[in-house]
Amino acid sequence: MKATNALLSASGTTIFEAMSALARAHAAVNLGQGFPDDPGPRALRDAAAAYVVDGHNQYPPMMGLPALRQAVAAHDRRFYGLDVDWQTEVLVTSGATEALFDCFLGLCEPGDEAVILEPAYDTYAPVLRRLGVTPRAVRLTPPDWTLPRAELAAAFTPRTKLLLLNSPMNPAAKVFTVEELTFLAELVIAHDAYAVCDEVYEHLVFGAARHVPMMTLPGMRDRTARIGSAGKTFSITGWKVGYVTAPAAMLRPITKAHQFVTFTTPPNLQHAVALGLAQDDAYFTGLGAGLVRSRDRLAAGLAALGVPILPCEGTYFLVADMARWLRPDEDDLGFCQRLVVEAGVVLIPMSAFYERGAPRGLVRFCFSKLDATIDLALARLATWIR
Ligand code: PMP
């Protein structure tokens, strides 16, 4: 038989799937994959179920149900003051994952380059490479993940087609400041590039941190695609409903990609997400407030165990430094695999977010969990550490 695609044949199974399978096999507490214990708003689940039963089960419009596209435009105006034409500037996708793929397909040519920031979500680099786009990864350094400005400036070249920015950032739990965003935006503009902004954690922001879409910065409205995900905003990660907001000229080729990749997204889920986005502000602020409690519960428990933790301004994730528990010959993946067996707790090794040479001993905890789940994981870690 002829060889299958070399890059994808050589890729491993994503760490999130692999660690969740390990959690099931060992009946371990799963603080690995980023999904909430919370079942999501009851009204949305009821609305999705009723829409199916009522018979709305055929192909919806390719760009998404008008009600959802209108809701995305209204959301972008309410939270960010963006003036968005729902008919030409909003596309509904099957999750942010598809939205990212559509953006890369629609915007890039083989031979282009994309600037990405490490630690980076694990789909970015392989998908870019498969499309013939070279990812130029620039590393942020823990614990505070400040921008290496000279390196960033050097990573942009005449071939740079886009900057891929994830803020709030998984797994670093960093929320980029306006000043940092402005620095990046100026590089994008100076190189006449695009920004693809993965903002799936836009409403999961804590304390004084504030999420500002790069799209709202001067000069960026015409060159930015902003991606959101109902999975994160409504604690329903299995639904895979995403949305892209972009200027019409940019969205047209992105929509062509969508037309060939999935064409549409289940109508009942779109209908329910439209209702979700229209909820009052209390829903959105409540989401962050609930997560802060969980973050603090986990952080206090880890501190009591003597596990150093890194700052966390947003997302579902807290990064901890467990280097002193690694065996001399062990990497963070080996450590996390051993922890499942020995402690019954699943975490994600940070090396999953680096193409090579991750900082040693960092692990990612997911805290979008019930108190009882967090407490059980902490109790098991305590026993293991002792
Ligand atoms: N981007 C980031 C940074 C994520 O963490 C995730 C989900 N883990 C996604 C995109 C994918 O979102 P969706 O489930 O909507 O495809």
- From 17, 175, 200, 364, the mutation candidate for ligand 1 (largest count of ligand atoms within 8 A of CB) is 200
CATH number at residue 84: 3.40.640.10
Which H or E run includes 10?
helix 6-10
Last residue in a domain, options 259, 280, 301? 280
The closest alpha carbon to 298, from 312, 287, 277, belongs to: 312
Give yes or no: residues 178 and 300 share one domain: no
Phi, psi dihedrals of residue 218, rounded to the nearest 5°: -55, 135
Give yes or no: residues 120 and 267 share one domain: yes
Domain holding 13, by residue range, is 6-40+282-385
Give yes or no: residues 252 and 292 share one domain: no
CATH number at residue 25: 3.90.1150.10
Give yes or no: residues 129 and 223 share one domain: yes
Q: Alpha-carbon distance 170 to 140, whole Å? A: 12
The average pLDDT across 196-217 equals: 97
The mean predicted confidence, pLDDT, of the chain is 97
Report pLDDT for 357. Answer: 86
Residue 210 has pLDDT above 90, yes or no: yes
Report pLDDT for 95. Answer: 98
Question: For 131-185, how does the pLDDT look when each residue is reduced to its tens digit (9 = 90+)?
Answer: 999 999 999 999 989 999 999 999 999 999 999 999 999 999 999 999 999 999 9
The model's confidence at residue 12, banded by pLDDT at 50, 70 and 90, is confident
Residue 47 lies in a domain: no
Atom of ligand 1 at shortest distance to CA of 230? 15
Last residue in a domain, options 257, 280, 303? 280
Residue 119 lies in a domain: yes
Distance of CA 356 from the midpoint of ligand 1 (Å): 22
Distance of CA 122 from the midpoint of ligand 1 (Å): 10
Atom of ligand 1 at shortest distance to CA of 16? 8
The domain total for the chain is 2
Q: Which residues contact 372 (CB under 8 A, 6 or more apart)?
A: none
The model's confidence at residue 103, banded by pLDDT at 50, 70 and 90, is very high
Distance of CA 353 from the midpoint of ligand 1 (Å): 13
Q: Which residues contact 207 (CB under 8 A, 6 or more apart)?
A: 292, 313
Residue 14 has pLDDT above 90, yes or no: no
Atom of ligand 1 at shortest distance to CA of 198? 1
Residue 1 lies in a domain: no
Distance of CA 97 from the midpoint of ligand 1 (Å): 6
Residue 246 lies in a domain: yes
SS3 323: helix
Residue 53 lies in a domain: no
CB atoms within 10 A of CB 250: 20
Residue 365 lies in a domain: yes
Give yes or no: residues 244 and 294 share one domain: no
Give yes or no: residues 355 and 250 share one domain: no
Question: For 262-274, how does the pLDDT look when each residue is reduced to its tens digit (9 = 90+)?
Answer: 999 999 999 999 9
Distance of CA 54 from the midpoint of ligand 1 (Å): 30
Give yes or no: residues 18 and 133 share one domain: no
Question: For 225-251, how does the pLDDT look when each residue is reduced to its tens digit (9 = 90+)?
Answer: 999 999 999 999 999 999 999 999 999
* Chain mean position to CA 299: 21
Give yes or no: residues 128 and 254 share one domain: yes
The model's confidence at residue 356, banded by pLDDT at 50, 70 and 90, is confident
The average pLDDT across 39-50 equals: 97
Last residue in a domain, options 248, 280, 312? 280
Write out residues with Cβ below 6 Å of ligand 1.
34, 95-97, 121, 166, 170, 198, 200, 229, 231, 237, 240, 242
Residue 296 lies in a domain: yes
Give yes or no: residues 163 and 233 share one domain: yes
Residue 326 has pLDDT above 90, yes or no: yes
Count CA within 13 A, CB hemisphere, residue 80. 22
Give yes or no: residues 271 and 286 share one domain: no
Distance of CA 96 from the midpoint of ligand 1 (Å): 6
Residue 50 lies in a domain: no
Q: Alpha-carbon distance 123 to 15, whole Å? A: 11
pTM: 0.97
CB atoms within 10 A of CB 8: 11
Give yes or no: residues 91 and 122 share one domain: yes
The model's confidence at residue 190, banded by pLDDT at 50, 70 and 90, is very high
Question: For 49-85, how does the pLDDT look when each residue is reduced to its tens digit (9 = 90+)?
Answer: 999 999 999 999 999 999 999 999 999 999 999 999 9
Give yes or no: residues 78 and 35 share one domain: no
Q: Percent of the chain scored above 70 by pLDDT?
A: 100
Report pLDDT for 272. Answer: 98
